[in-house]
Structure 1
Amino acid sequence: MSPRKQPNSLFKICVKSCICLINSACYVIEKNYPENEFEKFERQAFSLKCHLMSMLPARLFDVLCLERTCCQYRGDPRVQLHVLTHPNMTVFRKCDLDNGIPQNFWIQNLPNFTRLVVLDLKFVCTDEILQIVGTNCLLLEEINIVSKVDICKSLINASVLIRNVSDAGLYSIANLKQLRILAMDPPRNERASRVGRCVSQAGIIMLVSELPYLEELRIESCDIGATLITTVVDIGPLSLKKINCHFASAEGIKKLIKICPYLKELSVTHLSAHNKDAILEQLSVSDLRLSRLDLSFFSYSDSMQQLLSVKGNYLTHFSLWEIEHSLTLEAIVSIGVSCPNLITLCLMTQSKFLLTPRYFRRPEKIFCQLRNLTIGNENYNISSILSFFLDCTQNLQKLVLKYQTKMNIDDTLLQLIEKGRLKNLNCLWLDCTLEVSKEVVKQMIQHCEQLQMFTVDFNEDMSDVQRYICENNLDLKLGSY
């Protein structure tokens, strides 16, 4: 049976209780002073903070500030923040309630937080705030500067998003030499009509060149690899360890490896029909020791097999979105032999040749470290392929199955349950095309002792199953689409 929900630890109970009491005190202070007497309320909040700090350790304030959403504050969030923040805090992550706080609050208070190591200002950040951060928060190792977004109507009555971080803000934080992780807005197309402030590719190149320890650059929907490859500025070597690259060429990958010689995680999407093998060959002959490699729209060719035989020993995560029906069981065996340390494997294929022969004997000790498995899209035999992988590993924890046509997999799941192959599974995600009866769902809950996440398309009323989960206090999220 799925595990039981465990009671909250005494520490969590104490944190929640503290936040409730602090919220009540803050609300009383707020109601005693109207908006035009904000300074008086600030003095009262400061007095409360001093009283609390005389009784509670400073590190507990970091925890309270991070967990403040567990008991939502019904008043002005500035009051709560005045009490829970202090000069020695090392981590500050804003919450959704903070998005409406005026910019002036951050400009006044951020200069006090000189000990910060982590700062999350997502949807709050502006150039003016970054100027303060770049001057006062010199110990930062992680920062999220995704811009505050304003919405206005254009001349054609369409909604336009106006961002508030530009290259000027990037120049302000170039002074934060300890930064290791940076999340920010994507650059705007140079030819696009610009509304408000925005960052450019040139600004990003300047910033990464100024940050000697930057390991991870998080920019949603941005081809970071292309940004680095296409620059005319001589940059590198950079400390970046994670890169995604679309529309790459062999020469581009060669340049990227030179710019980022310490890469550990690389994602390459290649939609062109040409130069795929040349890209793989560049990775093979490089000095990179990648722990994660994601390849989309590639074929399992001789060049890929050569790459895995040379670099596979370093890989712990491998993903292949395969085209041209090139994936066979022999190729999967080759992946297992070449990559003995894989923890996560994702194989997406349309191959019709992914079959397990009747008298097939798999090599020993392949995929034995596997914890997370994703397989899809169509034509493969789910039962035989699952049996193959689950015979290799006894410790699979997360399984994702994708398929493009309707299929009932009751018998497959029942066979795996009977063999005890799913006993350590804690997360199972089944595509909406995969039909599972209510009885088999019940069997999964009864026999999978670690199952905590189960996503499956419901074709029947599951209210009795949900009631059973609730009544038996099971720590299981059973969801549909």
Structure 2
Amino acid sequence: MAPHRQPSSLFQICVKSSISLINASCYSIEKSYPEHKFPNCEQEIKELKLQLMKLLPARLFDVLCSQRTCCVYRGDPRVQLLALTHPNISIFRKCDTDNGIPLSFWLSTLSTLKRLVVLDLKFICTDEILEVVGQNCLLLEEINIVSRVDICKSLFNASVLIRNVSDAGLSFVTNLKHLRILSMDPPRNERANRIGRCVSQAGIIMCVTKLPYLEELRIESCDIGSTLISSTIDIGPLSLRKINCHFASADGVRKLLKICPFLRELSITHLSEYSKDSILEQIRISEARLYRLDLSFFSYSESMQQLLTVKGRYLTHFSLWEIDHSMTLDAVISLGKCCPNLNTLCLMTQSNCLVIPKYFQRPKKIFSELRSLTLGNDHFSLRDILTFFLECTDSMQKLILKYQRRSMIDDIILQLLEKGYLRNLNYLWLDCTLVVTTKVAKKIIQMCDKLQIFTVDYSVEMVDIIRYINDNNLDLKLGTY
């Protein structure tokens, strides 16, 4: 049976009780002053914080600040923050209730947090805040500067989004020389002059070239690789270890691998049929030792086989969205032999050539380290392919199945359960096209002793399943469509 919910630890109880008591004290102080008079109660809150600093170790404030949402504060969130932000905290992540706090508060508060290592300012960040951070928080290793977005009406009565982080703000980020992870807005497009401040590709390049230890640049919906490749100035070597690149060319990939000699994770989406093999060739002959490689809209060609033969021993994560019906059983076996250390595999294919013969003898010692498997296809036998992979490993923890035609899979699941192939799963995600009955869903919960996340589309009401989980006090997150 899925694991039971465990009672809160003594530490968790203490943290929750402490926050509750602090909230009560803050609220009492706040309500002793007229509405909207935060400055008037600020001095009393600071005195409360001094008392807390005498009673509690500095490291505990990291925990209190990160767990402050476990007890909702009924008043002005600035009051609670003022009490919980110790000058020596190392981690601060804003929460949703912080979004309406005025800029002046952030400027004064962040200027005192000089020991921060992790700072999340998502949806509240501005150039003005980054100026303060760049001057005072010089130990930062991770920061999220996704901009605050304001909405206003244009002259034509249309809603216009105004961002508040620009290249000027990025120039202050370059002071953070210990930075390893940076999350930010995508660069502006042609209509950027209509939406206020924005970062540009030139600003991003300026930023990454001045941060010597930057390993990861997180920009949603942004082709970071192409941004670096298209630069007119000489870049590199950079410390970036994770890059996504869309619509790449072989020459572009060659340049990218030269710019980022420490690259460990590479994602490429490519739609041109003329240079796929040459892109794979550039990766093969490079010095890169990738442990994660994601390829979308590629074929399992001879060039792919050559790449995996040379680089496969380094890979622990491999994802292939295959086209052209090139994926066969021989290709899967070759993949397993070339990549003995794979623990995560995502295989999306429309191939109708992936067939397991009736009396097939599975080679030994392939996919033996596999812990996470994602499969998607509209043609192969789900039973046969699943059985093939699950027989290879005893360590499967995460299983995702999708893009199958709508079908009932009760018999397949029951067979896998009876053979014990799913016993170590802690995560099971079934696409909405894959239907199991309530009886089988309950069987999964009963027989998978480690299952904690389960997503499935039920053919009947799920009330019975929810009641079963609650009645047995199971630590299981149940999702559906």
- TM-score normalized with structure 2 length: 0.98
Give the distance between the partners of 1:176 and 1:391, measured in 2 at CA: 49
> Could you say which residue in structure 1 is the equivalent of 2:324?
324
Q: State whether structure 2 residue 422 is matched by structure 1 residue 422.
A: yes
Q: Which amino acid aligns with 1:34?
A: P
Give the distance between the partners of 1:238 and 1:270, measured in 2 at CA: 24
Q: Structure 2: which 5+ runs fail to align?
A: none
Residue 452 (structure 1) shift = 1.4
For the 8 Å contact 2:38–2:79, the answer to whether it is kept is no
Residue 137 (structure 1) shift = 0.9
Give the distance between the partners of 1:367 and 1:441, measured in 2 at CA: 27
Q: Which amino acid aligns with 2:137?
A: C
> Could you say which residue in structure 2 is the equivalent of 1:247?
247
Q: State whether structure 2 residue 357 is matched by structure 1 residue 357.
A: yes
Q: Which amino acid aligns with 1:152?
A: C
Residue 36 (structure 1) shift = 6.0
Give the distance between the partners of 2:453 and 2:55, measured in 1 at CA: 41
User: Which has the larger displacement, 18-27 or 29-38?
Assistant: 29-38
> Could you say which residue in structure 1 is the equivalent of 2:134?
134
Residue 295 (structure 1) shift = 0.2
For the 8 Å contact 2:53–2:86, the answer to whether it is kept is no
Residue 62 (structure 1) shift = 1.1
Q: Which amino acid aligns with 1:84?
A: L
Q: SS state of the match for residue 297, structure 1?
A: strand
Residue 37 (structure 1) shift = 4.2
Q: State whether structure 2 residue 168 is matched by structure 1 residue 168.
A: yes
Q: Which amino acid aligns with 2:434?
A: L
Give the distance between the partners of 2:309 and 2:418, measured in 1 at CA: 36
> Could you say which residue in structure 2 is the equivalent of 1:281?
281
Give the distance between the partners of 1:444 and 1:100, measured in 2 at CA: 44
Q: How many aligned positions are there?
A: 481
- Give 1:30-429 correspondences, 5 Å limit: 30-35=30-35, 37-190=37-190, 192-429=192-429
Give the distance between the partners of 1:102 and 1:386, measured in 2 at CA: 54
Give the distance between the partners of 1:156 and 1:357, measured in 2 at CA: 66
Q: State whether structure 2 residue 443 is matched by structure 1 residue 446.
A: no
Q: SS state of the match for residue 104, structure 2?
A: helix
Give the distance between the partners of 1:465 and 1:125, measured in 2 at CA: 43
Could you list the per-position Cα deviations for residues 283-334 of structure 1 after superposition, in whole angstroms to 9, with x for gaps in the alignment? 0000000010000000000000110110011101000000001001110111
- TM-score normalized with structure 1 length: 0.98
User: Which has the larger displacement, 252-261 or 31-40?
Assistant: 31-40
Give the distance between the partners of 2:404 and 2:443, measured in 1 at CA: 25
Give the distance between the partners of 1:434 and 1:339, measured in 2 at CA: 30
> Could you say which residue in structure 2 is the equivalent of 1:7?
7
For the 8 Å contact 1:190–1:200, the answer to whether it is kept is no
Residue 396 (structure 1) shift = 0.5
User: Which has the larger displacement, 464-473 or 192-201?
Assistant: 192-201
For the 8 Å contact 2:417–2:423, the answer to whether it is kept is yes
Residue 32 (structure 1) shift = 0.9
Could you list the per-position Cα deviations for residues 133-192 of structure 1 after superposition, in whole angstroms to 9, with x for gaps in the alignment? 111111111111100010112333332211000000011111111111000000011465
Give the distance between the partners of 1:451 and 1:440, measured in 2 at CA: 14
Give the distance between the partners of 1:479 and 1:215, measured in 2 at CA: 34
Q: SS state of the match for residue 112, structure 1?
A: coil
Give the distance between the partners of 1:268 and 1:39, measured in 2 at CA: 52
List structure 1 segments (4+ residues) > 6 angstroms apart after TM superposition: none
User: Which has the larger displacement, 217-226 or 190-199?
Assistant: 190-199
Q: State whether structure 2 residue 435 is matched by structure 1 residue 431.
A: no
Could you list the per-position Cα deviations for residues 387-436 of structure 1 after superposition, in whole angstroms to 9, with x for gaps in the alignment? 00000011101100012421111111111111111110111111111111
Change (3 A) 1:407 1:468: same
Residue 477 (structure 1) shift = 1.9
Give the distance between the partners of 1:420 and 1:97, measured in 2 at CA: 46
Q: Structure 1: which 5+ runs fail to align?
A: none
Q: SS state of the match for residue 385, structure 1?
A: helix
Q: SS state of the match for residue 54, structure 1?
A: helix
Could you list the per-position Cα deviations for residues 226-273 of structure 1 after superposition, in whole angstroms to 9, with x for gaps in the alignment? 000001011100000000000000000000011001000000000112
For the 8 Å contact 2:319–2:345, the answer to whether it is kept is yes
Q: Which amino acid aligns with 1:450?
A: K
Residue 3 (structure 1) shift = 1.1
Residue 38 (structure 1) shift = 3.1
